[in-house]
């Protein structure tokens, strides 16, 4: 046996063996390991499909946690990855630079809302948010203002699972157990237009929804380090779509009070809402912008926090301690940056924004039909996002038993849909076939029919 052979059995396990290894050793995210069913054993990806170890072809109808926009195992992304791996797989990013990170920073700042010229890399959505919070917090202190000890964030918001991101998050069922460890956050109202009689989604926000942000800033503005929002759609909070007037109102309030606005576009960025960035729907340019998820087309963990020159300049000093002393081992990983650049090229060449517009128009009548179903409380859509909220809503929220039941019913139809409690959402890669779109809406209707008979 050669030295190479001696290592091979460990990596060349048959499917049953690796599934057993998973059961024995792996602790899965967002999973009650005692009661959850066995995880889906996925062997391969192919376009909008995941191929299970037992050969089933399962439609990835949620883009693998909202990251995949061009489909799985995309030949061009594979080639970009291999090409970069042959050149430079990784190098530390403090004191070193490389072409993929430089070119990607240039591309991101060119595509982002105006004024976001500086790009700080990190690893995932949560760390992009941590970096934004730290930038806002320290920029005040670097300028000599030590009064800023609060953040303002929205009800129903979700920004990730690290401590700063959890603190600003507004979905109690995710993070309440850690609440004693959080920094100070004031919670502002977020629009749920579908619950407010007479206020249609997307209509001028007659309820003055952004008013509580304004009120907090009136009252405590001199203590606020930054206001943080998920622009246009609060994803994990239940795919809650906002009217653009809300974001415009929040932006106007932050400008009046001289407080930075952080737009968390980790979910909404890269076309998901029908614009490159959701802020564009409202014509808003934030001071800090967080991106991740679809940045690499769903291939590799990479994130970026984009900042204005004014925030960047607050860190320039002869004192080294005024620098942003933040970084990760894999900051600006060249493989991830090269794949992100190729993903953006595909985005342009395959006219992804137009495709998202087509999807939005195909979703609209299907959502309208589902809205008539007696089990449905509300439907919501924007870009390549479709959501169906069931009655009764708001009881156990994310931890509603309905979620796992629905998941199982969809999986029985070879569809990977993973409802957020009683909110079913469909969020496909942009290249999904029209026939598959129709199949998903038909399946949602059929599962609602089953729901009528009660769920076990
Ligand atoms: C708006 C938003 N921000 C941040 C995050 C956290 O991203 P990650 O899971 O990559 O840490 C998410 C994840 O769903 C998100 O939707």
**CA-based nearest residue to 196, from 213, 208, 187:** 208
Expressed in angstroms and rounded, the spacing between residue 284 Cα and the centre of ligand 1 is 21
Atom of ligand 1 nearest to the CA of 234: 1
pLDDT band at 396 (very low <50, low <70, confident <90, very high): low
Expressed in angstroms and rounded, the spacing between residue 158 Cα and the centre of ligand 1 is 7
Which position has the higher pLDDT, 443 or 4?
Answer: 443
Atom of ligand 1 nearest to the CA of 162: 11
CA distance readout (Å), 292 to 6, 160, 282, 336, 383: 39, 11, 21, 11, 18
Burial classification of residue 34, based on how many CB atoms lie within 10 Å of its CB (0-12 exposed, 13-18 middle, 19 or more buried): exposed
**CA-based nearest residue to 185, from 166, 210, 198:** 166
Strands (E), 81-207: 118-122, 150-154, 185-188
Expressed in angstroms and rounded, the spacing between residue 267 Cα and the centre of ligand 1 is 6
Which residues participate in catalysis according to the annotation? 30, 158, 264, 293
Burial classification of residue 390, based on how many CB atoms lie within 10 Å of its CB (0-12 exposed, 13-18 middle, 19 or more buried): buried
Q: What is the pLDDT of residue 7?
A: 46
- Closest protein CA for atom 16 of ligand 1: 267
d(CA 369, CA 193): 20
pLDDT band at 198 (very low <50, low <70, confident <90, very high): low
Atom of ligand 1 nearest to the CA of 125: 7
Q: What is the pLDDT of residue 8?
A: 46
pLDDT at residue 392 is higher than 90? no
pLDDT at residue 5 is higher than 50? no
Within 6 A (CB) of ligand 1 lie 124-126, 129, 158-160, 230, 235-236, 264, 266-267, 292
Give 353-383 pLDDT, tens digit per residue.
999 999 999 999 999 999 999 999 999 999 9
Q: Give, for ligand 1, the residue of 165, 293, 296 to mutate: max count of ligand atoms closer than 8 Å to Cβ.
A: 293
pLDDT at residue 312 is higher than 60? yes
How does 153-191 read in b/e, with b if 16+ C-beta sit within 10 Å?
bbbbbbbbbeebbbbbbbbeebbeeeeeeeeebbbbbbb
Give 86-138 pLDDT, tens digit per residue.
999 999 999 999 999 999 999 999 999 999 999 999 999 999 999 999 999 99
Indicate the average pLDDT of the chain: 93
d(CA 199, CA 36): 39
Q: Give, for ligand 1, the residue of 279, 292, 305 to mutate: max count of ligand atoms closer than 8 Å to Cβ.
A: 292
- Closest protein CA for atom 2 of ligand 1: 159
pLDDT band at 73 (very low <50, low <70, confident <90, very high): very high
What is the spatial order of strands in the sheet that 376-382 belongs to? 376-382, 385-390, 423-426
- Closest protein CA for atom 4 of ligand 1: 159
Which whole number is the average pLDDT over 69-85? 98
Q: Whole-prediction pTM value?
A: 0.94
Q: What is the pLDDT of residue 3?
A: 43
Atom of ligand 1 nearest to the CA of 165: 4
Expressed in angstroms and rounded, the spacing between residue 125 Cα and the centre of ligand 1 is 4
């Amino acid at each position: 046996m050669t030295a190479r052979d001696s290592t091979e059995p460990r990596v060349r396990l048959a499917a049953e063996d690796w599934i057993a290894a998973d059961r024995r050793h792996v602790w899965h995210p967002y999973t009650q390991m005692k009661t959850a069913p066995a995880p889906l054993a996925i062997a391969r990806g192919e376009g909008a499909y995941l191929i299970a170890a037992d050969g089933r072809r399962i439609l990835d109808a949620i883009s693998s946690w909202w990251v995949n926009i061009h489909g799985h195992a995309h030949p061009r992304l594979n080639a970009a990855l291999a090409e970069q791996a042959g050149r430079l797989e990784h190098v530390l990013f403090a004191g070193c630079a490389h072409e993929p990170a430089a070119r990607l920073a240039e591309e991101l700042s060119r595509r982002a809302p105006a004024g976001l010229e500086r790009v700080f890399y990190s690893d995932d959505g949560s760390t992009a948010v941590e970096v934004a919070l730290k930038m806002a917090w320290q920029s005040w202190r670097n300028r000599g203002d030590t009064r800023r000890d609060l953040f303002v964030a929205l009800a129903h918001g979700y920004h990730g699972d690290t401590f700063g991101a959890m603190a600003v998050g507004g979905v109690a069922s995710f993070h309440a157990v850690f609440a004693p460890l959080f920094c100070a956050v004031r919670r502002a109202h977020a629009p749920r237009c579908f619950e407010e009689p007479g206020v249609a989604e997307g209509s001028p926000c007659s309820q003055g929804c952004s008013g509580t942000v304004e009120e907090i800033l009136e009252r405590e503005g001199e203590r606020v380090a930054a206001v943080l929002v998920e622009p246009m759609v609060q994803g994990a909070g239940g795919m809650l779509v906002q009217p653009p007037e809300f974001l415009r109102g929040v932006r106007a309030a932050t400008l009046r009070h001289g407080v930075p606005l952080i737009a968390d576009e980790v979910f909404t960025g890269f076309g998901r809402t029908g614009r490159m960035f959701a802020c564009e729907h409202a014509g808003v340019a934030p001071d800090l912008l967080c991106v991740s998820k679809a940045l690499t087309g769903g291939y590799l963990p990479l994130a970026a926090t984009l900042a204005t020159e004014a925030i960047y300049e607050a860190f320039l000093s002869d004192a080294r301690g005024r620098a942003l002393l933040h970084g990760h081992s894999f900051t600006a990983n060249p493989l991830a940056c090269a794949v992100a650049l190729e993903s953006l090229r595909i985005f342009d060449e395959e006219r992804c924004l137009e495709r998202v517009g087509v999807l939005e128009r195909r979703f609209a009548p299907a959502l309208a039909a589902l809205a008539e179903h007696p089990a449905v409380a509300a439907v919501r859509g924007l870009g390549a996002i479709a959501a169906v909220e069931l009655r009764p809503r708001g009881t156990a929220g994310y931890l509603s038993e309905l979620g796992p039941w629905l998941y199982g019913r969809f999986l029985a139809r070879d569809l990977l849909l993973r409802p957020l409690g009683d909110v079913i959402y469909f969020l496909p890669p942009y290249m999904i076939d029209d026939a598959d779109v129709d199949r998903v809406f038909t399946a949602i209707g059929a599962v609602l029919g089953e729901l009528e008979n009660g769920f076990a």
